[in-house]
Chains A and B, each alone.
Chain A
Amino acid sequence: MIDTKQRDALVDFFRQRVLPLGSSVSQHPRPPGGQPPLPDPGSLYHERFGERPTARSLEIDLSDRGNISRALEAHWQGTPLEGLGKALLRLAKRFPRGEEKADVSSDVYEMF
C-alpha cells in the first residue's frame, strides 16, 4: 500500500521523467556503434554471437544507495535514460523498506 504523498510522487515521476521519453525508447538499446547485420534477414532473433559470460560481467556494485545510483547512471550513460538513476534513488527515499510486494496482480508481476 502507498499513501497519498507516495502516490503523488510516483505520478509526478511517471509524467515528468518517464512519459517524455516516449515510445522511441521502448526497444532494447543497441550497443554503441550498432550491431552487425543479422545473418539471416528472415530471422527475428537478436544476435549475441556466442557471447560467454565473464567474471567481470557478474560484478555490479549495488551495495548501497550511492553505488546503486552510480551503477544505474553508468548503465544509462549516453542514452535518453541518463539521469534517471539518481532521480530514482531520490524517489526511493520516500519508500522506506517494508513488506515486499507479495500481493500485486500477476500481470504486474510479469511486467515489473
Chain B
Amino acid sequence: MSQRPVYVLGISAFYHDSAAALVCDGQVVAAAQEERFTRKKHDPRFPVHAINACLEAAEIEAEELAGAVFYENPLLSLDRILRSVAGAGEAALPSWLEGLPGWLRTKLFFEELLREELGQEIPVLYSEHHLSHAASAFYPSPYDEAAILTIDGVGEWATTTLAEGDADGLRVHQEIRFPHSLGLLYSAFTQYCGFRVNSGEYKLMGLAPYGEPIYAERIRDHLIDLREDGSYELAMDHFAFVAGETMTNDLFHGLFEGPPRERESRIRKKDADLAASIQAVTEEAVLCMARHLRKHTGCRNLVMAGGVALNCVANGKLLREGIFEKLWIQPAAGDAGGALGAAYVGSHVYFDVPRVDAPAPGRDRQRGSYLGPAYSNEEVRSFLDLHDLPYEVVSDDERARETASALATGQVVGYMVGRTEFGPRSLGARSILGDPRSTETQSVMNLKIKFRESFRPFAPSVLLEASGEFFDLEIESPYMLLVAPVKEEIRLPVASDAGAEDEDNLIAQVNQKRSSLPAITHVDYSARVQTVDGVDKPDYHAVIREFQELTGVGCVVNSSFNVRGEPMVLSPWDAYKCFMRTDMDVLVVENFLLRKTEQPKFEDHENWQEEYELD
C-alpha cells in the first residue's frame, strides 16, 4: 500500500505581500500572492484566494493537508512590539493606536481564521520569520549544502540572519536584532528620498547610478557602525521607526541638510546622490557579511532571501566579488516567499520529508518560479467570446513568430502565457515586451504604458545561449536578480556634457543612447538580466529566438504586465483592461492574439488611474 502524499501549506500574511504555497512530498506544487487576486498591491490580508489557488492547482481538498505552517512566530513578534513600544515611551502612542487593533482583531487569531476558511481542523505550526526565509533560499536551491544569508526589515526580532543548510537541514548561526536593521536603513532613505517604504526601495536602487556616493562616509560615520564581519548597529537617535509615524527624525534631516523630498516632486541630483550613497553602504555591508559567512561556514555556495536580497545591484557585486563560488537567490525573496519557506520547514522539520533531488545537476527546484494559476485556452476563448472581442487563434509556433514580428517593428506586446510568476518580477508569463534596440522603447513604455517615473530602466530577457554576446555575466540569471555590466563591445560613447547645464535634469541622462540595446542599458552601462532557457519557459524562449531570427538580437525588453501601482495582471480580464488602457499594440493570451487596432472602443471610467494607489 502506498503512503499518502504529505501536503504542507505555508502561509505568510498580515505584513506585506501575503501569500500561500503548497509543498507536496518536499516539492513545491504551487505558490501565489494574494495581491494578484484582490488587485491590491502588496495586499497584507489573509490570503484566502491564494490558498484556494494552491489547493486547486494540486487538485486536493483541505482535508488532505497534513498541516499548515504560518511563516513566523506571533509570540516573538508581539514580544518585540511590546518591548520596543515600552522603550519608545509616550511617542509610540499613535503607532500603538494604529497598529495594535490589527493584532487584537486578527493576527492573534490566525488559527481561527484558517479553520473557518478551510472548514477543517488541521495541525497548525509556526516557523520563525528568518527561518522561513532561510528555508525558502536553501531547499529550492540547486545545492546540497550552502551558507544562507537572509536580510530584511524585521522578522520577529531578527533583521539579518546567518545560517547554513545541508543534508541534516538548517542551522542558525548568528543574527542581528531589531531595531538594528539594514533593510530599515535602506527603507529610511527610500522614504527620505520621497518614495514609499516597502515598494520604493527598488526605485531608489534604480536611481542610484544617476548619483555619486558623496554621502556614504557620512552614513558610515553617523548612522551605522559596520564591523569587519558585517555585523552592525544603527545610531537609533537618527531614526523614528521604533515609535512609528515616520522612519527618520530631525537629527537625520539635519545630517542631510534638509527635509525629506515630497512624494511625486521633481527628483534632484541630491536624491540620486543619497541613493548612490546608501546603495554603496548596503553593498559594503552585504559583502562584509558574505566574507564572514564564508569563513564561518566554509561553504562554497551561498543562498539568499529577505527583501534586501531583491537588491540585484548588490547581488551582482557579490557575484563578481567571488566570495562564494555559486550564488542562488530565492526569486520571491520578500515576505511572500516566507510562505514557501514555511511550507518547506513544515515538510522537512516537522513531517520529516526528505529533500527531493534536483531535476538535473545544477538546476534548482523552483520550477522557474512559474508557480501561480494559469488559464486554459477554453477559459480564454470563453472570455473573449463573451465580450465579443476580435482575436486570432495562433499555434505555439505562430504565437512566437507573430509576437517577435510585432516587437521587431517597434510594437509593444502584452504577453500572458502559462502559470503566473511567484515573486515580484515578471519572467515572461505576465510581461510587457518591447524592442531593446529602440531608443524610444524606454520612454514610451515608462510614460505611455507603465505611467511611471521616466528614470526607471527596463530589464532584458536574453536567450541563455546568447547572454555572453551582450552581458558580462558568467552564470544563469533566470529570476532577474542579478545586475551585470553591458559588454564593452556594444557600448556607445556618451556626450560628456549630457545634463551638465542642469544637474537636476535626469531626463537628459536617460535619453542618452548608451549601447546598441539602449532600452535596457542603464545610465551606468548595467542591466538587470533575465536569462531564458528552453526548459522552464519554452514558449518565451521561442519568442526571443524568433526575434533573434528577425533582428540578429536574442534579447527583448521585459517589464511587468501592469501599470504603476497595479499588481501584475492575473486573468485574461486583467490583461485586457491593462492592454486597452495603455499604448500597447498587441495582446497575447495563451493561443489568442489581439491587435489594438481591431478592438472595439473600450468603455472605461475616466479616473481609472486612481484605481491603483501610486507605489
Secondary structure at the B interface, as helix, strand, loop or mixed, is: mixed
Alpha-carbon separation in the docked complex, A17 to B125 (Å): 30
Kindly list chain A residues whose C-beta atoms are within 8 Å of the C-beta of B110: 62
| Total chain B interface residues with beta-carbon distance under 8 A | 92
Nearest Cβ on chain B to A70's Cβ, whole angstroms: 11
Of the candidates B69, B103, B162, B184, the one whose C-beta lies within 8 Å of that of A58 is B69
Cβ contact of A53, chosen from B44, B85, B177, B349, cutoff 8 A: B349
Are A112 and B81 touching (Cβ within 8 A)? yes
Which residues of the partner chain B approach A109 to less than 8 Å between Cβ atoms?
15-16, 44, 197-198
* Given known A22-B86, A29-B79, contact A110–B187 (CB-CB < 8 A): yes
**Could you tell me the distance in whole angstroms from the C-beta of B128 to the nearest C-beta in chain A?**
8
Return chain A residues, CB-CB under 8 Å to B93.
Answer: 11, 14
Q: What mask results when residues 33 to 46 of chain A are scored 1 for a CB within 8 Å of chain B, else 0?
A: 00000001011111
Which residues of A lie under 8 Å from residue B170 when comparing CB positions?
A: 52-53
Task: Fill in one digit per residue for B264-290: 1 if any A CB lies within 8 Å of its CB, else 0.
Answer: 000000000000000000000000000
B245 to chain A, nearest CB (A): 6
Report Cα–Cα, A11/B94, bound state, in Å. 9
Q: Is there an interface contact between A58 and B176, defined as CB atoms closer than 8 Å?
A: no
Q: Say whether B573 faces chain A, with CB atoms less than 8 Å apart.
A: no
A60 and B75 contact, Cβ closer than 8 Å, known pairs A18-B82, A45-B231, A50-B173:
yes
CB atoms of B45 and A102 under 8 A apart = yes
CA distance A26 to B43 in the complex (A): 30
Known contacts A58-B127, A59-B125, A97-B106, A50 near B79 by CB under 8 Å: no
Pick the interface stretch among B53-61, B222-230, B364-372, B472-480: B222-230
Q: How far is the CB of B611 from chain A (nearest CB, A)?
A: 15
B336 to chain A minimum Cβ distance, whole angstroms, is: 14
Contact B87 A25 (CB under 8 A): yes
Q: Is B112 an interface residue (CB 8 A)?
A: yes
B247: CB under 8 A from chain A?
yes
Q: Is B157 an interface residue (CB 8 A)?
A: yes
Which single residue of chain B is at the shortest CB-CB distance from A50? B171
> Which residues of B sit under 8 angstroms from A5, Cβ to Cβ?
none
Question: Would B228 and A42 count as touching, CB distance under 8 A?
Answer: yes
Q: Are B102 and A54 in contact (CB under 8 A)?
A: no
CB of B550 within 8 A of chain A? no
Q: Which residues 83-97 in A have Cβ within 8 Å of B in the complex?
A: 84, 88-89, 91-92, 94-97
- B74, CB-defined interface residue at 8 Å: yes
Contact B349 A112 (CB under 8 A): no
Chain B residue at smallest Cβ distance from A96:
B105
Q: How far is the CB of A93 from chain B (nearest CB, A)?
A: 9
Q: Within the complex, what minimum Cβ distance (angstroms) separates A56 from chain B?
A: 9
The closest CB in chain A to the CB of B198 belongs to A106
A91 to chain B: closest residue by CB: B104
In the complex formed, the residue of B with least CB distance to A68 is: B108
Name the distance in Å between B228's Cβ and chain A's nearest Cβ: 7
Given that A45-B229, A53-B169 are contacting pairs, would A62 and B69 also be in contact in the complex, using a CB cutoff of 8 Å?
Answer: no
**Do A107 and B241 contact each other (CB < 8 Å), given the known contacts A42-B228, A53-B170, A76-B79?**
yes
Smallest beta-carbon distance B352→chain A, Å = 8
Beta-carbon contacts of B175-214 to A below 8 Å, as 1s and 0s? 1111010001001000100001110000000000000000
Say yes or no: A19-B90 contact (C-beta < 8 A), given A44-B232, A101-B44, A107-B246.
Answer: yes
A102-B81 in contact (CB<8A)? no
* Distance, CA A110 to CA B90, complexed state (A): 19
B99 contact set on A, CB distance < 8 A: 101, 104, 108, 111-112
How many Å lie between the Cα of A40 and that of B577 in the bound state?
A: 58
The answer to whether B231 and A21 touch across the interface, beta carbons within 8 angstroms, is no
In contact, B89 and A19 (Cβ under 8 angstroms): yes
Q: Does B14 contact A (CB under 8 A)?
A: yes
When each residue 121-153 of chain B gets 1 if its CB lies under 8 Å from chain A and 0 otherwise, what string results? Answer: 000111110010000000000000000000001
**Which of chain B's residues have a CB closer than 8 A to the CB of A58?**
69, 125-127, 345-346, 349-350
Write 14 A-B pairs (CB below 8 A) sorted by A numbering.
A2-B101, A11-B97, A18-B86, A23-B86, A42-B229, A43-B227, A44-B231, A45-B162, A48-B174, A60-B73, A64-B111, A92-B105, A94-B104, A109-B16
Closest 3 CB pairs of A and B: A26-B87, A112-B99, A101-B102
Name 19 extra pairs, CB < 8 A, besides A46-B175, A112-B95: A23-B86, A28-B83, A44-B232, A45-B174, A49-B173, A50-B173, A53-B131, A60-B75, A95-B104, A97-B106, A101-B44, A102-B40, A104-B102, A106-B196, A107-B245, A107-B246, A109-B15, A110-B153, A111-B244
